[in-house]
Structure formats: structure tokens, C-alpha cells
Amino acid sequence: PQSLLQIQPQELVNQLESTGPIAEAVVSRQVFPPSLTIEVRERKPVAIAPSPFDNEPGFLDAQGIWMPQSSYTQIKEKLDLPKLRVLGFQEELRSHWQTLYPLIQRSVVKITVVDWHNPNNLVLVTELGKVHCGGTDAFLNEQLRVLTKMRELPNQIAITEIEYIDLTNPQYPTIQLVRDPKSPSGGATFSSSEIAQRL
């Protein structure tokens, strides 16, 4: 307990906004009758993601702001956990996430995991299997458009036979099949023309 005159609204705003789940805070002070009003706008978790620093469990919002899971401990029974998982997220990837997340939301093919462990090769885990996208955002929209065209792929090739789909160059997609240890050449690769014939 302290006098309202001793409370600095802006300091309180800074404290609140420095905590993960608070996106914006407004503090208003009234001397008579004495009152302090605090309004907050929360960040909505859209993906489960371990901390980029120490692997502490947490969440990402749509802007790429990381929030510790401990911030939601008291409301975890009411919190609808996101289905999407992000691995290998780092602060410098925030702008990439801001580009990628809206595309994931609109994707016809379900995406469950975003793997950034290799900064030179973004890997998406989808209902069609793993998809290699390379290390640039330049083709993301086109890559997901091509992936949508491939959604009937399970009718032609068993998902368990696909090691990964390579969309690094979306104009020439390829499919790497699971390697056969009995085969000296390993797994087969379908070229873009062969994929077009199958689809």
C-alpha cells in the first residue's frame, strides 16, 4: 500500500508491458476519489515454442513475441493451447515468422510444425510429410501454392514412402522417397515433370 501520488503510471505501464502476455497497458490515476485504473490487452498464443535462450516452455504470438508458459499457469485450464509448434525459433527470425504465420493460417494443406533448426532450410511438417523450403522468404507464398496443388499426392504415393518434398525451387518441386537400405542408390527422387504426371 502506498499513496497514489507515489505511483508513477508510466513506470507501471513499462512493468506490465515488459511481461510476455501483455501487449499493451493503459494506467490512469485519479486523486479524488482515489482510484487507479489499469487496462491491458493480452497477446494471443498462436504456437507452442520453447525459449530461444534456454528451452523453457512457452508460446509465440502472431508478431513473433515469445511468452513463457509460466505466465499462463493460473489459467491453463481455460487456455486453448495452439496446435502449431515452432522449433529452433530465434529473435532474428521474428520478421520471417510475421511473413510465414499468415500463410500458414491460409494454407489448405495442414501444417503442424515449423522447424528452424537449420537457418538455411526451413522445414515444415505437413499432412503430406516434411517439406523443405530453403532459407529465404522470397518463395514462401509460391511454395505453399505448389503444396496446395500436391494435396492429392497421398492418392498416388503412400505418405510413409516420402522422406521429404523439396520446394526449395517451387518451379521445380521434387519428392525424395525413403531410402531403401538394400538399394545401392538409396531412395528414388521424383522430378517436377514426374510429379505433374502423377497429379
- What is each CA distance from 37 to 21, 28, 50, in whole angstroms? 19, 5, 34
Radius of gyration of the chain (CA): 23
How confident is the model over 74-121, as pLDDT tens digits?
Answer: 555 566 789 999 999 999 999 999 999 999 999 999 999 999 999 899
Q: What are phi and psi of 163, to 5 degrees?
A: -80, -45
Whole-number pLDDT of residue 61: 92
Which amino acid appears at position 173 of this protein?
Answer: P
Residue 21 has pLDDT above 90, yes or no: no
Q: Using omega within 30 degrees of 0 as the cis cutoff, is the peptide bond preceding 21 cis?
A: no
Residue 1 has pLDDT above 70, yes or no: no
User: Distance between CA atoms of 199 and 155, rounded to whole angstroms?
Assistant: 9
**DSSP 3-state of 30:** strand
How confident is the model over 137-164, as pLDDT tens digits?
Answer: 889 999 999 999 999 888 888 889 999 9
Whole-number pLDDT of residue 118: 93
